[in-house]
Amino acid sequence: MLNILIIGNGQCGNRILDSINRHALGRGKNCGKLARFYSTQRFKSHVETLALNTAINDLKEMKFTKAKDRIHIEHLHGVGANRNIGKQVFEAKKEIIMRQIEERGNFDLAFVITSASGGTGSSFTPLLVKEMKNRYNYPVYCLVVLPFREEGTLYLQNTAFSIQEIRQSGADGIILADNQYLKNIGGSIQEAYDGINDMIAERILFLLDALDSEMMMVTDLGDFQTVMSGGAGLATMGFFRADKEIPIKTAIQNSLSPLGLLFSTNVYEEASRAMIVIKGDRKYLSIDDISTEIEKLSGAVGHVFKGIIVRSGEYPQVLSVLTLESARELENLYSVAVQAINQEKAKKQRVEQGDELDKTFSQIEGLDPEY
């Protein structure tokens, strides 16, 4: 049995954590089969969840995460997307935060979930991971959500710096999920968020199941660690759930296709190592077909671990975890972020030089109001 800690930082991290807890309790769309994570034999892991936020309203919004697991780190009404303030708050409250982790015992692995672009999560995460890696021996993986590109210059610059800092924090790997890439889910912004959060929750729960299940063909924590240590420290996940009988080859391909992935990448070009876990009734799982499809992938990317979990009566589901050697989409994001940083800098200089508004105010210098 694995002991697993999942931390959600900031609003986005809190909401994804809440979605994980909802699915784990069997209340999500398609959750009937996942069912009661904490209690059934199927999910052997012992999972502790922890939500951290400076904004109390974000914590209050959570519906499926126990009150004792929602920790308010007091600082006015949040940090207002300012990562410098976020870092100061973390340093000031570090021991309170670390005590929360300490009290939850020892773990085999931890996930820290955050957006890259906001204030609290993006500034807490690198410092928190660094602290965890200094104090504990278990691997810490971050799941980082990238912003919609039109959300503005501050979010873009936060993204560029926070990802770099998370990489330098000692994190054992960063799994990317991209709002921009996933936004075609459609509906209102809230519906899109909910849809994206569900996608992430579903993948994380499948992964935990895969790491802690008795399998016909095994993938374990060691395999996951090997996959995550490949490539450039960045990864993403894919998933496909069949709702009718389909060839297992197609199910595997779908999990690696744009429809299944959380981040835009051509896995055959950019992936470095992979883990593919297949779950379903034995009658759908032709070992020959699975092997042929996996060999195609390993021919392109290098090593691929495969796991098979037999679940009678279930249509096939496939999870893929892929570390990336290169990430063109991230390069594009950094180019836009550099423009954003320069734009902010130029704006600040103009204000400091006081060009426009000073001229405006100077017009009344030496004058008094006349009544």
Binding site membership: which residues? 11-15, 119-121, 151, 179, 197
115 token code pair: 């957006």
Distances (CA, A) of 232 to 79, 175, 255, 322, 334: 31, 11, 22, 11, 16
Among 5, 15, 90, 267, binds ligand GDP (CB under 6 A): 15
How would you label 111-138 residue by residue, b for 16+ Cβ within 10 Å and e otherwise? bbbbbbbbbbbbbbbbbbbbbbbeeeeb
x/- map, 326-345, ligand GDP, by CB under 6 A: --------------------
Residue 154 near residue 81 (C-beta atoms within 8 A):
yes
* Structure token digits, residue 289: 């077909």
- Cα separation, 241 vs 280, in Å, equals 10
Q: Is 145 in the site for ligand GDP (CB under 6 A)?
A: yes
Least Cα distance to 320 among 227, 256, 224 occurs for 256
Quote the least distance from Cβ 225 to ligand GDP, whole Å.
26
Closest CA to 38 of 72, 70, 71, 6: 6
Give whichever of 143 and 308 is closer to ligand GDP, judged by the CB atom. Answer: 143
Instruction: Return the half-sphere exposure (C-beta side, CA atoms, 13 A cut-off) of residue 240.
Output: 23
Q: State how beta strands 140-146 and 173-178 pair.
A: parallel
Closest distance of CB 55 from ligand GDP, Å: 6
Residues 115-134 that bind ligand GDP (CB under 6 A): 115, 117-122
Closest distance of CB 252 from ligand GDP, Å = 26
DSSP per residue, 112-144: EEEESSSSHHHHHHHHHHHHHHHH--S-EEEEE
Work out how close the CB of 200 gets to ligand GDP at its nearest, in angstroms, rounded to a whole number: 7
Question: Which tokens belong to 248?
Answer: 């297992």
Cβ of residue 123: shortest distance to ligand GDP, in angstroms? Answer: 8
Q: How far apart are CA 250 and CA 362, in angstroms?
A: 71
The answer to whether 155 contacts ligand GDP (rule: CB under 6 A) is: yes
Query: Among residues 63 and 282, whose Cβ is nearest to ligand GDP?
Result: 63
Q: Which of 277/330 has CB closer to ligand GDP?
A: 330
Smallest gap from Cβ 116 to ligand GDP, in A, equals 8
Which of 37, 111, 193, 240 is close enough to bind ligand GDP by CB under 6 A? 193
Query: Under the criterion CB under 6 A, does residue 179 sit at the interface with ligand GDP?
Result: yes
Q: What share of the chain is helix, strand, coil (3-state, %, to 5)?
A: 50, 20, 30
| Nearest partner of 157 among 348, 344, 329, judged by Cα | 344
The residue number whose beta carbon is nearest to ligand GDP equals 118
How far apart are CB 353 and ligand GDP at their closest, in Å? 31
Q: Which stretch binds ligand GDP (CB under 6 A): 192-200, 249-257, 267-275, 303-311?
A: 192-200
CA distances from 356 to 346, 352, 353 (A): 14, 10, 9
- Annotated binding residues for GTP, written as ranges, equal 11-15, 119-121, 151, 179, 197
Return the range that interacts with ligand GDP (CB under 6 A); candidates 22-30, 148-156, 236-244, 359-367: 148-156
Residue with tokens 């968020």: 193
In the complex, minimum distance from the CB of residue 259 to ligand GDP, in angstroms, rounded to a whole number:
17
| Per rule CB under 6 A, count of chain residues that contact ligand GDP | 22
**Given candidates 5, 7, 12, 297, which one binds ligand GDP under the rule CB under 6 A?**
12
Q: Is 316 in the site for ligand GDP (CB under 6 A)?
A: no
For ligand GDP, the binding residues in 269-298 under the rule CB under 6 A are: none
Give me the residues that bind ligand GDP (CB under 6 A), please: 10-12, 15, 58, 78, 115, 117-122, 145, 147-148, 151, 155, 179, 193, 196-197
